[in-house]
Amino acid sequence: MAKHKSSSRGEPQRLRSALLGGCFLLSMILLVVYTSYVVSFSNREFLINFCAETRPRKEKLPRNPFCDFSDRRNDYCEMEGDIRIHGNSSSILFVTSSNTNGTNIHESWQLKPHPRKGDARAMARVTEMSVKTLSPHDAPKCAIHSTVPAIVFSTGGYMGNFFHDFTDILIPIFTTSQQFNGEVQFVISEILPMWNDKYQKLLKPLTNYEIINFNQDHTVRCYPHVIVGLKFHKEMSIDPSRSPYGLSMVDFGRHVRKSFALERDTAIKLGPDQDKKPRILIIARKWTRIFANVDEIVRKAEEMGFETVVAEAKYDLAEFARIVNSCDVMLGVHGAGLTNLVFLPTNAVVIQVIPLGGLEGISWIDFGLATISMKMHYLQYMISLEESTLTEQFSRGDPVLSDQKEAYRKHGWDRMIELYFFKQGVKLDTERFSSTLIHALELLRQR
């Protein structure tokens, strides 16, 4: 990846920069005053302390290396000093000559640096790595010396699923890397050229350096600071209290829009002086959880004053990002396609259609929370029994339709996931759904 200087920072970082600039200006003023008058020691001490408070503080590691296996979703190691990475042997080596800061020579930890801990199917696709402490005598020699830190992680798991690419990788690497302002190198296992190409625009502003393929790297690379693993907060979201500089999903949205050079930061505001129609994007899936009556939905939306766009997510992410960003409302059945909400402007409206299957809770966790966190409006439409295409496959008294909990108990999780996720379509009752479209229009009148 070509070297590229860029950054995407949150409001707290800009405030910190302003304060530091203020400290410099205040220092110059006091310096001038000091040349003519006596400035008391206490005043100068206040200035020093005030400016020190505005600088980012790097917390000292509890021990070095520091490995934390307590989180339910991710394991994580961090170390500072002489660290040597040998990808071909899946080893991260911390070189130390004495037992300092609680470190013992020849200690080791094993971890899989991917935030799907506990999901055996996903983690089976992730390389296990060893973090070891060694004496200089036992350590391999450095072939390449780097002066910047490295973040080591895996894109394995469910790589290629659009939702998981964002929630498991792209959002966590955004929060993990921001503290380095681009001066960090990514060392990635299980990465494929296709994946790297697809998300290059999002990765490029986060690192000024070439991405290293961990599994194919035979070189011993040496770094002064290494993080192994990504800290996961919650599905498709960021906890500002746990992220550097208080970053949030609003900051991630800015990062996405800037990375793809998207034109719109805010959705349309409807009012008496606005004659432009709001645009609604209908995510039209082709294979699973499809809208079985797209043409009817389009007609109803246009009757109610929308300009409609019907599209399915494409591999050309930049092209589809521009389509999404041009819209004010996005409508889709629960699924990975709703991940495209990250390209919407703020104050847009996301309408998630929930099919049968007891999916209300997971639908909110996956996309409802993210929508609200990005300062957009969220509407959830629960379909009725008559709006599910499963009525064409099962009688009305079957638990699949009448009692989903009993269906899960009777047929098992895998069978029900197959039915509710892969064999169910949605035929919206457009008259029933019209109240949701009215609500969306009302939200676009708000600010």
CB contact at 8 A, 416 and 401? no
What stretches of 118-235 show up as alpha helix (H) in DSSP? Answer: 120-123, 162-164, 171-177, 193-198, 200-203
67-111 confidence digits (pLDDT tens): 999 999 999 999 999 999 999 899 999 998 765 555 667 789 999
271-290 confidence digits (pLDDT tens): 988 889 999 999 988 888 89
Domain ranges of the chain: 63-246, 279-445
329-354 confidence digits (pLDDT tens): 999 999 999 999 999 999 999 999 99
**Cα-atom radius of gyration of the chain, to the nearest Å?**
26
- Average pLDDT score over residue span 172-196: 96
**CA of 8: how far to CAs of 13, 186, 348, 434, in Å?**
10, 17, 22, 39
Indicate the CATH number of 279-445 among 3.40.50, 1.10.760, 3.30.1360, 1.10.3210.
3.40.50
H or E segment and range at residue 222: strand 220-228
pLDDT at 348: 98
3-state secondary structure of 333: strand
pTM for the predicted model, two decimal places: 0.84
Backbone angles phi, psi at 320, to 5 degrees: -70, -30
